[in-house]
Amino acid sequence: MAVNWVRRAAQAMERKGTKGAFTKQARARGMTPMEFARKVKANPSAYDTTTVRRAMFALNANSRRRKR
């Protein structure tokens, strides 16, 4: 039940057509999504709000996946 928010968020991303947008940003910079998320978290003022939010989501979703 604790991971339902991830499932709902993934469904919302599919509806909006933004699924894979953060990965695409990371790959364009030659990084994995987790590397890019850590870089964005370390210096959020260098990135726009949407990218920072996507990075935080990626980090939170990844930490939930590892706890299962």
Q: What is the pTM of this model?
A: 0.74
Domain ranges, residue 22: 4-67
Nearest-10 crossing angle of helices 49-67, 4-16: 140
Mean pLDDT, the chain, rounded, equals: 82
Residue 64 confidence (pLDDT) = 63
Query: Tell me: the pLDDT tens digits for 27-56?
Result: 999 999 999 999 999 999 999 999 999 899
6: three-class secondary structure by DSSP: helix
- Paired tokens of 62: 């990844």
Split into its structural domains, the chain has a count of 1
Residue with tokens 């979703």: 61
